[in-house]
Structure 1
Amino acid sequence: MTTNETLAQYSDWAFKSAFTVLVLAFVLLIVQYASARAKAVQDKELVSAGGVDASVPGRVAETPTKSLSERFGGMGRAVLVVGTVLIIASIVLRGFATERFPLGNMYEFVAMACAASLLVGHVLLIKPAYRPMWVFLLVPVLILMFLAGTVLYADAAPVVPALRSYWLPIHVTIVSVGSGIFMIGGIASLLFLLRLKFPPGDEGTSIGGRIAERLPDAQTLDRLAYKSTIIAFPLFGAGVILGAIWAEAAWGRFWGWDPKETMSFIAWVIYAAYLHARATSGWRETKAAWINIAGFVAMLFNLFIINMVVSGLHSYAGLN
């Protein structure tokens, strides 16, 4: 099995271009977020001052034009689509370059998780009420992509013999996609807690209040966190089960309490606790949100600390 260096180079260029384009989208969406807040303040002041009565006879009604916020928001979402397409293209090109499924190391895993988060985000955040969340979702995506392109980067190459199995595209794809969707839920729960602290109409002038002012209401954010976790939870659970089946075929046992296996199971249990708390009276709001955030932290711990610091049977999937 050889590596097509030309396609590998195109893959790297596509990944770097995706990062650059997503940074541009992030800047445009920040401008949109800030200008939307400024417009809301201006409209509030106009109403309190009496406003302008457009129904006065003889007054020529002005043709409505798109606000600065709408223009930057439209550009930001368009650029966001381009960035999503580019990161998917980088994954596909690396697969063709190496003649294998592109999930053989942490660089490729993180790229797949970020692509899944962006792709599912386009579906879950399509409603206008959810669109301000893109500013916050792009923060962890860009951080992960930066780490993937620097610290975690691995040259396109064949995988070690232990990964040359049909279980690779099944097990690792499901886990990476589930991890990417969990990212949406974790951010939604964080913003839910922020919204609870600064409810609509009572944001004040603090930094947290200014950030929360353009967010959806707390119930909307809570529903989004629940919806994304409901999608990711069975995917991640299926990935853990399929990993155990692969372990039995590769190592002769279903479960051996390897650090990666153990931490994945702990994360799955935390998310199960979140779903249970979400349906339990007295737990379904603040306490459930903190459990969901704990699950997200456990996923990040599993990705970085377990893969990069702790030695185990999954160490071959770390840095090359």
Structure 2
Amino acid sequence: MVYQLAAEAAVDQDLASLSDHLIIAMIVAYAAALFLFALEAAYGRRTALKNNRLVPLAAGAPGAAAPAAVGGSSTVDLDADPPSGASGGDGLEVSVRDSEPRASASRSVLGTVALVVSVAGFLLNLGQIVTRGLAADRWPWGNMFEFVVAICLCAVAAFLYAAFRYQARYLGTFVLLPVVLLLGIAARWLYSEAGPLVPALHSYWIAIHVSAAIVATGAFMVSGAAAITYLVAHRTEVKRAAGERVAGIAAKLPSPELLDRVSHRFVVIAFPLWTFAIIAGAVWADEAWGRFWGWDPKEVWSFITWVVYAAYLHSRATAGWKGTRSAWIGVIGFACLMFNFFGVNYMFSGLHSYA
């Protein structure tokens, strides 16, 4: 019996060691993919994207090509500054769409390699989480380190979905940069050895409430990256409208309209999950603490984040706020999300202080 227990402990230790090695491997993979995506963004050829629901061909726009041409593997060089009749301000989006009938982004073979490396990093990330969970014999998100690693996994998963489904690999630099930074912070300052959960987390609700929050956060990260990229692209178009020449990565970003649609699409995906996470958390709180709501800092900031993203969706649906104004609301929502994640855990004490 003693021999069997010792053997099981050794197996657990082996899995924990494997999990720790996978942390380094996935950081290296993500960093390499980030570097390759940055090279593609800076030196790739601006190429027309395929026509689909998210990337529509502007009907009747000057110089518009036939849908069949856009739907193929076009390698049209679009590096030259497009003509612009924009006058700046909120009306810029309409004129940008007229001056860029075909959505485009910087493309090169480096981006394809970066996408493959990103998939490899994702698999290493997934392997790290699985092996750590098996080593500790529990759900592997019981502390800040594990939560960061799981969020990065979901962020990369959302990015890969966007890259394959919406041709949005141009977001690779903007998504993987915070992923690499977060993983570096987690490995350097948040790391904790695999072990049992604190007593308060011994519940099946951790697999429901925390999982929903993690998946929603990953999707919100992609939305936030698209919103920030939108603001850069919008500023670029304003400069072009003023007759200034733009160079570097900013000159090869997709049109602001496309980035706005991508950002909105991922908020639509993440918001119901975040809503469910809050509701599930309230039910768990009632079971654990005898109340649904107690104004705990984590509860308050989760609700603030929900309100900001609800305002984002409401403003787009009712007031027609698209473009710059909605992008800023999305950025504020993402800032609230990150403060809820880091600031609340380290600046306030409460029932959710498991860091």
The two structures share one fold, judged by TM-score above 0.5: yes
Q: Which amino acid aligns with 1:23?
A: A
The answer on 1:158 being equivalent to 2:196 is yes
Alignment TM-score, normalising by the size of structure 1 = 0.85
SS at match of 2:192: coil
CA contact (8 A) 1:117 1:180 kept: yes
The answer on 1:103 being equivalent to 2:141 is yes
- 1:142-200 per-position Cα deviation (integer Å, ceiling 9, x unaligned): 11111111111111100111101100111101101101110011111111111111129
Aligned position for 1:262: 300
Query: How many pairs are equivalent?
Result: 293
1:71 shift after superposition: 2.5
Q: Which amino acid aligns with 2:340?
A: N
Aligned position for 1:145: 183
- 1:63-82 per-position Cα deviation (integer Å, ceiling 9, x unaligned): xxxxx963212211111110
Q: Give matches, 1:136-215, under 5 Å.
A: 136-199=174-237, 202=240, 204-205=244-245, 210-215=248-253
Aligned position for 2:28: 20
The answer on 1:232 being equivalent to 2:270 is yes
CA contact (8 A) 1:182 1:232 kept: yes
Aligned position for 2:121: 83
Cα 1:217–1:251 shift into 2, 3 Å: same
- 1:256-294 per-position Cα deviation (integer Å, ceiling 9, x unaligned): 000000000000110000001122335222111111100
Q: Which amino acid aligns with 1:280?
A: T
Q: Which amino acid aligns with 2:331?
A: I
How far apart, CA to CA, are the structure 2 residues paired with 1:194 and 1:33?
A: 13
CA contact (8 A) 2:45 2:108 kept: no
Alignment TM-score, normalising by the size of structure 2 = 0.77
CA contact (8 A) 2:239 2:245 kept: no
How far apart, CA to CA, are the structure 2 residues paired with 1:301 and 1:70?
A: 36
Cα 1:309–1:200 shift into 2, 3 Å: closer
Greater alpha carbon shift after TM alignment, 68-77 vs 112-121: 68-77
- 1:31-66 per-position Cα deviation (integer Å, ceiling 9, x unaligned): 2222215999x9868xxxxxxxxxxxxxxxxxxxxx
Greater alpha carbon shift after TM alignment, 81-90 vs 213-222: 213-222
Aligned position for 1:275: 313
Cα 1:205–1:100 shift into 2, 3 Å: same
CA contact (8 A) 1:267 1:295 kept: yes
Q: Which residue of 289, 297, 321 corresponds with 1:251? A: 289
Consecutive unaligned residues of structure 2, counting only runs of 5 or more, are 48-74, 81-105
Cα 1:99–1:215 shift into 2, 3 Å: same
1:298 shift after superposition: 0.4
Cα 1:44–1:33 shift into 2, 3 Å: closer
Cα 1:210–1:94 shift into 2, 3 Å: same
How far apart, CA to CA, are the structure 2 residues paired with 1:44 and 1:308?
A: 46
SS at match of 2:191: coil
Q: Which amino acid aligns with 1:195?
A: A
How far apart, CA to CA, are the structure 1 residues paired with 2:43 and 2:278?
A: 44
Q: Which amino acid aligns with 1:167?
A: W
Aligned position for 1:5: 13
Cα 1:269–1:128 shift into 2, 3 Å: closer
1:90 shift after superposition: 0.4
CA contact (8 A) 1:171 1:239 kept: yes
CA contact (8 A) 1:185 1:228 kept: yes
The answer on 1:287 being equivalent to 2:325 is yes
How far apart, CA to CA, are the structure 2 residues paired with 1:38 and 1:262?
A: 44
Aligned position for 2:258: 220
SS at match of 1:123: helix
Cα 1:270–1:15 shift into 2, 3 Å: same
1:127 shift after superposition: 5.4
Q: Which residue of 274, 296, 301 corresponds with 2:339? A: 301
- 1:221-260 per-position Cα deviation (integer Å, ceiling 9, x unaligned): 0110010000000001100110000000000000000000
Greater alpha carbon shift after TM alignment, 247-256 vs 139-148: 139-148
Cα 1:293–1:43 shift into 2, 3 Å: closer
Q: Which amino acid aligns with 2:194?
A: A
CA contact (8 A) 1:133 1:215 kept: no
Q: Which amino acid aligns with 1:304?
A: F
How far apart, CA to CA, are the structure 2 residues paired with 1:115 and 1:286?
A: 29
